[in-house]
Amino acid sequence: MFCPKCGSILMPKVVDGKKVIQCSCGYKSGETEKLKLTENIGNGKKQKFAVAEPEKEEETMPKTKAECPKCGNREAYFWEVQTRAGDEPPTKFLKCVKCKHTWRDYS
């Protein structure tokens, strides 16, 4: 499934104890209790796969020096997503280590 706001792939997450599909731009769908996380492995067989917990996901993300526009903290996690055409540069997303505010960096 793709985000109706930015077109990125929606990823399953657990937010406030509920399973939702969420985008890196902040868009969230409703509950997805009936969503089955499976992958086709050939011959009509499917295999379940695990999704990383949101809290543990941040531990593996790289950090950079960037000032949070919300709280002023000077350290943030970052990742890049190709949100536009392939010949355009990727969009850099940042998430404050302290307050968890997420913003985009277009530079």
What are the sequence ranges of the domains in the chain? Answer: 1-50, 61-107
**Mean pLDDT computed over 74-95:** 88
pLDDT, the chain, mean: 76
- Decide if 94 contacts 81 (C-beta within 8 A): no
pLDDT level of residue 77 (50, 70, 90 thresholds) = very high
- Take residue 55 and report the two structure tokens written for it: 């809290």
Q: How many CA atoms lie within 13 A of 106 on its CB side?
A: 3
Spatial separation of the C-alpha atoms in residues 69 and 76, rounded to whole Å: 11
Spatial separation of the C-alpha atoms in residues 81 and 106, rounded to whole Å: 11
- What was the pLDDT predicted at 34? 46
Please pick, among 16, 33, 39, 88, the residue that the annotation labels catalytic. 88
- What was the pLDDT predicted at 57? 56
- For the domain with range 61-107, which CATH number is right: 3.40.630.10, 2.40.50.70, 3.30.930.10, 2.20.25.10? 2.20.25.10
pLDDT level of residue 30 (50, 70, 90 thresholds) = low
pLDDT tens readout for residues 33-65: 444 455 555 566 665 544 433 445 556 789 999
Q: Is 88 tagged catalytic?
A: yes
Alpha carbon dihedral 12, 13, 18, 22, in 10-degree steps, equals -70
Q: Is 87 tagged catalytic?
A: yes
pLDDT level of residue 67 (50, 70, 90 thresholds) = very high
Whose structure tokens read 């997450």? 13
Provide the H-helix boundaries in 1-107. 54-59
Please pick, among 33, 80, 87, 105, the residue that the annotation labels catalytic. 87
